[in-house]
Chain A
């Protein structure tokens, strides 16, 4: 198991609430990612980061925002949750490309339900 953690694992919240999904890794990886995945479906990259103070939007448009103040921490925030945000959110990290090790390591995911 990789050393990447996500909290909470499950969250049920009402429409309009602000939420932050936490992701931390202890592997010292430079690159981190957030994916959105509906159950049993494909992954959609919503945000990624090359390192501290770096954030980029992914392929799937998302109303969420991310920050990367510390190498090990990559939280995702929804300012105003909506039912359309109901999904599973997966955090991942990988080595800097110079190492030649490109595989991503995933956290257990946060299953979000917005009522």
Chain B
């Protein structure tokens, strides 16, 4: 079965430190992978995607994600966290029917 997993319910990081939010996938064919962010009482905002090409993908708000085929991972990263980065982050992958499969979400808390 195709799936996307986010192994951490919550990640806590001090402001200014690097952050990583983990995602692993199991999809058929070439993986198309996405990261979204959700701020309180808002819809989801698209951050970045991997379709093909460079394994390091850059996106909005200084975020980037590293695609690792051998580890079937697509971790979201940022070199220096801001308090305003605190939000709910979702990883998603495209299945064989071109539908998005969603991870369960990871709550990111950045402490001043």
Contact = CB atoms under 8 A, between A and B. Distances in A.
Interface of A: 4, 6, 40-43, 45, 48, 90, 92, 97, 100, 102-109, 111
Nearest to A9: B41
Nearest to A45: B99
Interface string B97-108: 011101111010
Interface of B: 32, 34, 36, 41-46, 49, 51, 88, 90, 94, 98-100, 102-105, 107
Given A40-B107, A43-B102, A106 B44 contact: yes
A108 B34 contact: no
Give chain B's interface secondary structure class: strand
Contacts of B100: 102, 104
Nearest to B88: A40
B42 A108 contact: yes
A41 B43 contact: no
A41 B98 contact: no
A42 B102 contact: yes
Contact of A90 (B44, B49, B98): B44
A3 to B, nearest CB: 12
5 contacts: A42-B102, A43-B105, A102-B100, A103-B46, A106-B44
B42 A102 contact: no
A41 B105 contact: yes
Nearest to B45: A106
A42 B103 contact: yes
A109 B46 contact: no
